[in-house]
Amino acid sequence: MGIDVAATPPERIDMGDLVVRRWRLEDVDSRLAALIDSHEHLHRWMAWAAEPPTREDQRLSIEISSTRWPTPGGGYLYGIFAAPGEVAGGIGLHDRVAAGALEIGYWCHVAHTGRGVITRAARALTAAALALPHIERVEIRCDAANVRSAAVPRRLGYHLVETGLRAAEAPGDSGRYQVWVTTA
């Protein structure tokens, strides 16, 4: 797939009361606190949240994403901040679908759910992705049982283009996936 690093998404998107920006090493403790606070909430839907987060894991993850743009795995990873140092969630663009496409993934701090934080951040990142010259399509994938996650692409006008079966990866998964798409 390969991302053209000459044309990359912005490292910071300021939305007034929310900022979506590239993770920095000084974010380790605030991200760790957000993930610990939200572990039960995230664990249900996110395979990567199977175990409680550790400071070392967060430090390594942020070290990679703060020094490599994109990351070695082809991603652009951002924190969502409701105030300086206050992590409201995380969001990323991932080069793991098809040529000319990026996938958006996200998580929300449990104290910020139901406030439109993820919808607003995903709207901003969708626009940033589609502004890239080599990107024509943005996808959001989720388990069909994760109604709150599926509500985000629906609110943003994405179209449900695929459903299917897959092995459940997290405790709340139904084993039925959805692929939501928007295009330039």
Q: Could you tell me the CATH number of the domain that includes residue 104?
A: 3.40.630.30
Is residue 3's pLDDT more than 70? no
Q: What mean pLDDT comes out for the span 134-146?
A: 98
Cβ atoms 47, 169 nearer than 8 A: yes
Please, what is the angle between helix 28-37 and helix 55-67, to 10°?
Answer: 130
Assess if residue 63 is contained within a domain.
Answer: yes
Does 1 map to a domain?
no
Residue 6 lies in a domain: no
| pLDDT tens string 30-83 | 999 999 999 999 999 999 999 999 999 999 999 999 999 999 999 999 999 998
Q: Between 184 and 162, whose confidence is greater? A: 162
* 41 part of a folded domain: yes
Q: What is the pLDDT of residue 6?
A: 57
In the chain, how many domains are there? 1
Residue 150 has pLDDT above 80, yes or no: yes
Average pLDDT on 141-170 reads: 98
pTM score, whole prediction: 0.94
User: What range does the domain containing 23 cover?
Assistant: 12-183
Output b/e per residue, 40-67; b: 16+ Cβ within 10 A.
ebbbebbeebeeebeeeebbebbeebbe
| Domain assignment present for 110 | yes
Residue at 7 is within a domain: no
Residue 5: inside a domain, yes or no?
no
State residue 148's pLDDT score: 97
Q: Does 27 map to a domain?
A: yes
pLDDT digits (tens, 9 = 90+) for 82-135: 988 899 999 999 999 999 999 999 999 999 999 999 999 999 999 999 999 999
